[in-house]
Amino acid sequence: MHTVEDHAAHGWFRFDRIPVTRSAAASDSTVLSAPANCWLLGDDHDVVVVDAPGNPETILTAIGDRRVTAVICTQGGRAHTAAAVDVAWALCAPLLLHPADHALWEATHGQSRYWRIEDGQRIAVAGEQLHVVHTPAATPGSVSLHFQALKTLFTGDAIGDSCAPSGLRLTPPRELTVLSDLPLDTCVYPGHGDSFLLGETFSPTYHRELDSTPPEANARR
């Protein structure tokens, strides 16, 4: 049985992670490099589901009696969507996917329907708003979800590989330049592994600042 991790909290608003084991998320022909994350974003009453790999019953149990605003897929591949149709159907919740990933979706889910998610779209949940950002670095329809007020970003596979950030880049790849104006202390929650700061991936200036910061200040970051 998977356990829900109370991963981070901002007042009443929290991010819960449901880790999915490799065996639960992989099909006979698919092997994941690291367990995939399912995120529940909201409070004790309302949540959105971000990615739905693995066992739908596990996700439904974690949600409990909370209302689900949407089931959002950060991309169309099986590793992130295996349980999405069952979860959305069970909850009578809209299932959202960027249409550029239709071919990937169809390869796994056939003619199962979804609602289109678009760059710039805003989705309200539990008194906060997430902003959809099209970041087609992993797949043509990959999206990231930005909570500006909370300085957090959910990226699926657009940033990060396995359990670590994908390494310092002097400049972001073209598909991710839209993220370069975000604060460097924005916390990134990826589709696999643990969180890290955006500046750890994109900005050499961030690292120079850390090197010049007194140790006691670094400990507070």
Instruction: List the domains of the chain with CATH numbers.
Output: 5-220 (3.60.15.10)
Counting Cα atoms < 13 Å in the Cβ hemisphere of 202 gives 22
- Dist CA 92 CA 106 (whole Å): 21
Lowest-confidence segment of 14-18, 120-124, 154-158, 168-172 by average pLDDT: 168-172
- Dist CA 21 CA 54 (whole Å): 8
Asked if pLDDT for residue 149 goes beyond 60, the answer is yes
Confidence of residue 4 (pLDDT cuts 50, 70, 90): low
Average pLDDT over residues 82-88: 96
Asked if pLDDT for residue 169 goes beyond 50, the answer is no
pLDDT of residue 85: 97
Asked if pLDDT for residue 71 goes beyond 90, the answer is yes
- Dist CA 110 CA 102 (whole Å): 10
Average pLDDT over residues 9-25: 71
What phi, psi does 181 have (nearest 5°)?
-90, -5
CA 195 vs CA 15, 160, 165: distances in Å: 12, 9, 8
Nearest alpha-carbon partner for 148 in 110, 108, 179? 179
Average pLDDT over residues 76-105: 96
Local structure of residue 149 (DSSP, 8 states) = T
pLDDT of residue 33: 52
Asked if pLDDT for residue 209 goes beyond 50, the answer is no
Tell me the pLDDT tens digit for each residue of 50-60: 999 989 999 99
Average pLDDT over residues 173-197: 87
Percent of the chain with pLDDT over 90: 59
Asked if pLDDT for residue 213 goes beyond 80, the answer is no
Asked if pLDDT for residue 216 goes beyond 70, the answer is no
- Dist CA 109 CA 132 (whole Å): 23
Tell me the pLDDT tens digit for each residue of 92-110: 999 999 999 999 999 999 9
Average pLDDT over the chain reads 81
